[in-house]
């Protein structure tokens, strides 16, 4: 893999929260010719239908082997290295992972684009708001006392459900890089 693509990909994995979310939003905007929202409640808008669109993505990392404790804190920090934890898309059946698609406020949008950044490529899924409650493992409560904000997990148990029901496309990091350059 070309060095600039490797650095680009690893940079994406290093981003946290809002900055990582911005990368996913720009990707979806450019791929599907959407517009930015003028409302903080959702991310994008479909220019023809006016549908409000939310974008939620996660990086896929190997599940941690153990809880951090006083006797293993150094070892666990060393094992947190990206090169050790990133998962290839071809390994989803063999490596334990758990990616959380969270902070889903169903009342704020009509369409959800969600997906996963693997080590080797990106998978994009799409759901209508009306389908979210039926999504395997969806919980409408993310935090204690919270109403109307939910989440679901993509892992070995739920992987085939998302692939079989909501897959839109796969994208390589080279394709993503080119998309952002144009």
* Helix (H), strand (E) at residue 12: helix 3-14
List, in sequence order, the alpha helices (H) in 79-158: 82-85, 129-132
pLDDT at 128: 95
pLDDT at 112: 96
Q: Reduce the DSSP state of residue 147 to 3 states and report it.
A: coil
d(CA 92, CA 94): 6
Q: Taking the complete model, does pTM exceed 0.75, yes or no? A: yes
DSSP collapsed to 3 states, 39-52: CCCCCEECCCCCCE
Rounded mean pLDDT, 118-128: 96
Q: Are strands 150-155 and 44-45 parallel, antiparallel or unpaired?
A: unpaired
pLDDT at 63: 78
Q: Reduce the DSSP state of residue 151 to 3 states and report it.
A: strand
d(CA 147, CA 160): 28
Q: Which of 81-95, 104-118, 137-151 has the lowest mean pLDDT?
A: 137-151
90, two tokens: 């071809």
pLDDT at 36: 96
At 83, the pLDDT band (50, 70, 90 cuts) reads: confident
User: Of the candidates 129, 132, 123, which has an alpha carbon nearest to the alpha carbon of residue 99?
Assistant: 123
At 17, the pLDDT band (50, 70, 90 cuts) reads: confident
Show Cβ contacts of residue 126 under 8 Å, excluding neighbours closer than 6 positions: 111, 112, 113, 114, 166, 168
């Amino acid at each position: 893999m070309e060095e600039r693509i490797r650095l680009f990909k690893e940079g994406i994995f290093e981003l946290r929260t809002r900055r990582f979310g911005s990368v996913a939003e720009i990707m979806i905007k450019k791929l599907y010719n959407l517009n930015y929202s003028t409302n903080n409640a959702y991310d994008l808008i479909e220019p023809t239908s006016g549908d409000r669109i939310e974008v939620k993505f996660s990086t896929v990392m190997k599940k941690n082997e153990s809880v951090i404790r006083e006797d293993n804190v150094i070892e666990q920090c060393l094992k947190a290295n990206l090169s050790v934890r990133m998962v290839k898309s071809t390994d989803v059946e063999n490596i334990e992972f758990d990616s959380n698609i969270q902070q889903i406020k169903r009342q704020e949008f009509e369409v959800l684009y969600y997906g996963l950044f693997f080590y080797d490529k990106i998978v994009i899924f799409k759901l209508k708001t009306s389908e979210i409650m039926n999504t395997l493992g969806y919980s409408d409560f993310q935090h204690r006392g919270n109403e109307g904000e939910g989440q679901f997990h993509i892992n070995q148990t739920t992987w085939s459900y998302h692939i079989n029901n909501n897959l839109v496309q796969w994208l390589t990091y080279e394709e993503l890089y080119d998309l952002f350059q144009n």
